[in-house]
Amino acid sequence: MVSRGIRGATTVTENTADEIIYHTKLVLQEMIEANDVTPENVSHVFISATKDIDAVFPARALREFSGWTYVPVMCMAEIEVENSLKNCIRIMMVVNTNQNQAEVKHIFHNEAITLRPELVEKRGQ
C-alpha cells in the first residue's frame, strides 16, 4: 500500500450550517465510495473553506459517517486569490491504497468542477 491524496471540492449558495454540511457530506460520500475508502485506511483529512463560509466547520460532515470518529480532520482557511472561486469547500483525504495515481477518483461538485475540469472529464469516460 502507498499513501495517496484524494481531492474533493464543492460550492454552496448560502452560508448556512445545513447547506455547508449537506454539500460537504455529498462530496465526502462520493469520494469514499468511488475509491473504496475505509476509515482505517485514512491517515488524515484536510478541509479548507473560502472566507465567505463561516457558519459551521465543514469537517462536522465527516463526523456523521459511522466509524470515522478517530480519523484526524482539520479545517482551515483557503488562501485568498484574486478572482478565485467563492463559497468553496476543498477536501484533501490522505489514504493508504493499492491504487496508482491515475486510478484515484477525485470528486468535484457544483461550481467546483471548474477547479480541475480535466479530472471531471476523466471520470465521465
In this structure, what CATH number is given to the domain that contains residue 101?
A: 3.30.1330.40
pLDDT value at residue 111: 95
Give the residue-averaged pLDDT of 92-121. Answer: 92
Q: How far is CA 109 from CA 33, 60, 96, 97, in A?
A: 15, 18, 24, 23
pLDDT band at 117 (very low <50, low <70, confident <90, very high): confident
CB 30 within 8 Å of CB 10: no
Number of domains in the chain: 1
Structural domain boundaries, residue 21: 2-124
Strand-pair category, 2-11 with 107-108: parallel
Question: What's the chain's average pLDDT?
Answer: 94
User: Is pLDDT above 70 for 124?
Assistant: no
If you ran DSSP here, which 8-state letter would residue 103 be given? G
pTM: 0.93
CB 23 within 8 Å of CB 122: no
